[in-house]
A and B are shown apart, each in its own frame.
Chain A
Amino acid sequence: MSNSVAKQLEEHPLVPMVGEVSKIVDETPDVKTFHIYYEQGKPFTPMPGQVAMLSLLSVGEAMFSVRGVDENHLEFSLKKTGILTDALHEIEEGQKVGVRGPYGNGFPIDFCKGKDMLFIGMGIGLAPVRTMIYHCINNREDYGKMQIIYGARSPQDLVFKEDLFENWHKVPNCGVDVTVDRGDDDWDGNVGFVPPFVEGLAPNPENTVAIICGPPIGIKFTLPVLEKLGFTNDQIITTLEMRMKCGIGKCGRCNIGSCYVCLDGPVFSLEQLKVMPDEY
């Protein structure tokens, strides 16, 4: 990060840095990945699991999982869900957007070091999980076996296909297992929901951390499976979503009890969630 950029962020934590959308990848009919380019170098290097505010200046801003790609790029993968993401899905390469951040705690990297890693992603929930997958790939010697389990509604809805079916298969000591809720004529992989799929694959809980993200209903039914397999609450890590406006613990709305998801999250262990009010 250049000094002037760092200074600006320090002085104005609520003002975004404008960058250019240099590449848009169609992942699925309703998910696109946006690469945002900063000529002077990207404004920050997010830790895996951190989030950032992405804005179209005249439309609005919202918090999303963010990944640092190289010296100049930040990357967001967005499902078309509301006013802002609808508008972002309409833009073309060359469009200027704003980004501010990074916010939140990120995944507990030190806690995960030296352990086997189980990644469970459902739908667009693979986006935050993937930031940690890439961290483990880039620091492969720090982590044990990697097992990636992913599920989507249909073959059409699979995100990051290049990673799922090519890149991650080349990673040493890394397994990738994919399932879809409903197949089609061309799909020869597993068909079925994620919870029974995980149960069938029976990942070993010993010295393992499970990182799981997806729609609440998917998480709700996968947690008992992990429990049955012998995972304890401190071995299960997830991320939460709440509506956010400031991202820096001032505007008030993303609280769960006395925690602010923007500052104290979005990453929580199941152990932490068990003692928080269940209001999310």
Chain B
Amino acid sequence: MKIIKRDKLKDLLNSFAKNAQTLAPVKENDTIKFLPWKGQGEIDLSQNALLPPKDLLFPQTEVMYRYTDGGVQGEITDVAAAAERQVIFGIRPCDVRSLTMMDDVFMTKGYEDDYYKSKRENTILISLGCNEPQPTCFCTSMGIDMMEADGADIVMYDLGEKLALEPKTDAGEQLLNDVDVLEDGAAEKPVAKECQLKADAEGLAEKLAQMFHHSYWEDLSRTCIGCGTCTYLCPTCHCFDIRRKNIGEEGFQFRCWDSCMFSEYTRMAGGHNPRPSKKERVRNRFLHKLQYFPERYGKVACVGCGRCVGKCPVNIDITRIIGELREVSVDE
């Protein structure tokens, strides 16, 4: 185990940043964001970042390839290059868990998405255990240990004046060996305070498989305004659109985040839309998280980070919905 004093944290990040793009939670305009560390800024480890760090592996907008298309002679001129090494410092256990779900989506079931994979394989994760949850947090309901993070290369604990770092992988070990601002030491793992918000999604998928035509979805969709905020903030939401931008005779194909809450998402040429109203879209969002993803990948696609709970403008709270879905009768 390695120890660093809190006031030396910038030295540690500076050391990491010499060899790799280093992302750390920095407070900017009253918002905590994962930003590239350039030696300056206010590191804020008091609570999780507003946006999950999924965009570091799956950018909100990402160029896929470039082409020329002058009249009839089109060709692809450049495919996006492989990713550079990056260190994500201070990622919370919930967001680490979400990346294992991203891995399922982008790297299994027959096709590996090379854009994602390249970034993922060049990323080192340093998790930070949560001593104190936010009022909207419910990660422990989703089977997450607030201190530990399966999948992180280094697990970090907040000891107040000090931080303790425990390497979990060879890459993590190597990274810590390469810096000289750490001291060897031992520390007792902090005890996390309990999440106040709870949800029990265990076994819910089987019940939901009987509830596709339930009136619950119609009722729930009346509140939703279809803004898509929940999907953009969600660390497990991975839907994307593929579009292109033409500049004269050149152009590029890019992908960008999309949301199942938007009507255009499933609208086909000719106008047919299998999910034409909010009812079908809200239903799809919750069934995707609670039934379809578990059926496909064996996991509930929610990590209890609470971002959607905190930011939904009409207070749609997935923990309340899980509770209600447990209660309602399948036969209405």
Contacts and interface: CB of A to CB of B under 8 A. Distances in A.
Interface string A84-103: 11000001101111100000
Chain A interface residue bracket vs B: 35 or more
Contact of A251 (B75, B112, B258, B292): B258
A172 interface: no
Q: 9 tightest A-B contacts by CB?
A: A82-B269, A252-B239, A248-B111, A258-B295, A258-B292, A58-B69, A96-B74, A81-B269, A57-B74
Interface in A252-279: 252-253, 255-258, 263, 277, 279
A35 B288 CA distance: 39
Interface in B83-128: 105-106, 109-115
A62 B269 contact: yes
Given A58-B246, A250-B240, A251-B242, A15 B76 contact: yes
Interface stretch (A66-74, A131-139, A163-171, A237-245): A237-245
Interface stretch (B22-30, B260-268, B312-320): B260-268
Interface string B241-274: 1111010000101010010100001111110101
A241 B258 CA distance: 20
B307 interface: no
Contacts of B238: 250, 252
B291 interface: yes
Nearest to A94: B72
Interface string A13-24: 111101000000
A57 B251 contact: yes
B74 A14 contact: no
B296 interface: yes
Interface in A99-139: none
Contacts of B242: 14, 61, 245-246, 251
A280 interface: yes
Contacts of A248: 110-111, 113
A230 interface: no
Contacts of A243: 265-268
A13 B292 contact: no
Given A13-B114, A14-B113, A252-B260, 15 more contacts: A11-B114, A18-B76, A56-B69, A57-B251, A58-B251, A82-B268, A83-B269, A95-B74, A96-B73, A216-B272, A242-B274, A243-B268, A248-B110, A249-B110, A263-B109
Contacts of B109: 249, 263
Contact of A57 (B67, B112, B258): B67
Contacts of A277: 212
Interface in A47-80: 56-62
Given A95-B72, A245-B242, A15 B79 contact: yes
Contacts of A92: 72
Contacts of A98: 74, 76
B54 interface: no
Interface centre among B74, B106, B280 (most CB of A within 10 A): B74
B64 interface: yes
Contacts of A279: 212, 274-275, 280, 284
A143 to B, nearest CB: 28
B65 interface: yes
Nearest to A251: B240
Contacts of B114: 11-14
Contacts of B65: 12, 15
A85 to B, nearest CB: 7
Contact of B75 (A18, A56, A241): A18
Contacts of B268: 82, 241-243
A147 B258 CA distance: 44
A258 B290 CA distance: 11
A253 B265 contact: yes
Contacts of A61: 242
A58 B269 contact: no
20 contacts: A13-B112, A18-B74, A56-B74, A58-B74, A62-B269, A82-B269, A82-B270, A98-B74, A98-B76, A245-B241, A248-B111, A250-B111, A250-B240, A251-B240, A252-B258, A256-B274, A257-B295, A258-B292, A258-B293, A279-B274
Contacts of B295: 257-258
B218 to A, nearest CB: 14
A169 B69 CA distance: 43
Contact of B72 (A15, A96, A242, A253): A96
Interface centre among B69, B246, B251 (most CB of A within 10 A): B69
A181 B274 CA distance: 27
Interface string A137-163: 000000000000000000000000000
